[in-house]
Amino acid sequence: MAMKAYDLIIVGAGPAGLCAALYAGRSMLKAVVLERGAPGGELLNTDLIEDYPGFESILGSELSQRMAAHALKFGAELVTDAVLSVEKQDDGAFLVTGESGDTYHAPVVILTAGGTPTKLGVPGEPEYAGRGVSYCAVCDGHFFRGEVLAVIGGGDAATEEADFLTRYASKVYVIHRRDAFRASPILQQRVFGNPKIEVIWNGVVERIEGDGRNVIQLALRDVVTGTRSELAVGGVFVFIGFQPNTGIVKGHFRHDAAGYFITDDVMMTSIPGLFAAGDVRAQLTRQITTAVGDATTAVIAAAKYLAELRDRQPVATT
């Protein structure tokens, strides 16, 4: 185990974290990015990106590689270590503990840890996770060539991934508990225009059933009529939201009803010196563009915060 000291610790290497690393390097800050896996975050779970300025169409994996390379060019230090806790110490600095046993010390932390998929919470879901239940179409879609699949949800992620899955599936059912999608109009248009997709409105999954090895059907209920039915599928993809990864922060902080950080206009949370950027922050939209915008603001504000801390330090006398 080792204690490592930095000016700035960035937790998470998605778009926000990699952008923060880039700007930290340009600001001549000694910074480290801690990430449990490969750099990229949710970019690695996204096939084509068509709404990032400068790229009419780019693979999520390619964009993540480009962002990481750009950050490394400016001296970013990327460390593979899952963060277990972020805690402010009595001296005002932060102690970040990694799964490796190493600890990291800095007066400023920028949390860009994103979120984790929301589970359905129905019987059969944990039993068949990885055996027909998935939360990532890009990761697992190719395993279901020729299958009939179900996608649960009605937002941008559900509609986009349903369209993507038609590359592999013979048919895709989109099951939504309401009678209208929340997704952006262009994504809805793709769903309605895809002959392989059928929408089941006002439907909820009550059980995921299988043969002991793989998913074979869903038990559904119509929330309006109460009618129950069964739907034969070879796999189910769940896209009903994300939970922000804010639980690693020890101590109370201001947050909204869903647990997302509430920040000021420079991305600082209610804990002085702790900034948040990207999907962990309460905001109207969660896009790559907003993530990198948050990160840019956070690093510039963090640099000023660090300068103010240094100015307040007593001058040694002889």
Note the pLDDT tens digit of each residue in 161-191: 999 999 999 999 999 999 999 999 999 999 9
Average confidence (pLDDT) over 204-228: 97
Lowest mean pLDDT among 21-30, 36-45, 144-153: 36-45
Q: Which CATH class is domain 133-238?
A: alpha beta
Residue 273 C-alpha from the chain's centroid = 22
C-alpha pair distances (Å), 103 with each of 24, 29, 96, 97, 110: 20, 19, 6, 5, 16
Q: How far apart (Å, rounded) are the C-alpha atoms in residues 254 and 165?
A: 38
Q: Is the pLDDT of residue 283 over 70?
A: yes
Q: In the chain, where does the domain assigned CATH 3.50.50.60 lie? A: 3-117+242-312, 133-238
Query: Rounded to an integer, what distance in angstroms lies between the CA atom of residue 197 and that of residue 173?
Result: 6
* pLDDT beyond 70 at 316: no
For the CA atoms of the chain, what is the radius of gyration? 22
Cα–Cα distance, 98 to 62 (Å, whole number): 28
pLDDT at 301 (0 to 100): 98
pLDDT at 312: 83
User: How would you classify the pairing of strands 108-111 and 215-222?
Assistant: unpaired
CATH C-level class of 3-117+242-312: alpha beta
> What positions carry a catalytic annotation?
136, 139-140
The C-alpha atoms of residue 278 and residue 194 are separated, in whole angstroms, by: 32
Place of tokens 């009529």: 225
Q: Band of the pLDDT at 48, cuts 50, 70, 90?
A: confident
Q: State the pTM of this model.
A: 0.77
Q: Interhelix angle for 156-165 vs 185-192, to 10°? A: 30
Does 276 have pLDDT greater than 80? yes
Structure tokens at 133: 């239940």
CB-count burial class (<10 Å; 0-12, 13-18, 19+) for 179: exposed
Instruction: Work out the mean pLDDT of the chain and round it to a whole number.
Output: 93
Pairing of β 108-111 and β 8-11: parallel
> Is the per-residue pLDDT at 208 higher than 70?
yes
Residue 7 tokens, joined: 């000016």
Question: Using N-to-C axis directions, what is the helix angle for 60-73 and 15-26, rounded to 10°?
Answer: 20
Sign of torsion over alpha carbons 224, 228, 234, 239: positive
Report the C-alpha gap between 196 and 167 in whole angstroms. 9
SS3 assignment, position 110: strand
Q: Which two tokens stand for residue 99?
A: 């799964």
Inter-axis angle of helices 288-312 and 15-26, nearest 10: 40
DSSP-assigned letter for residue 235: E
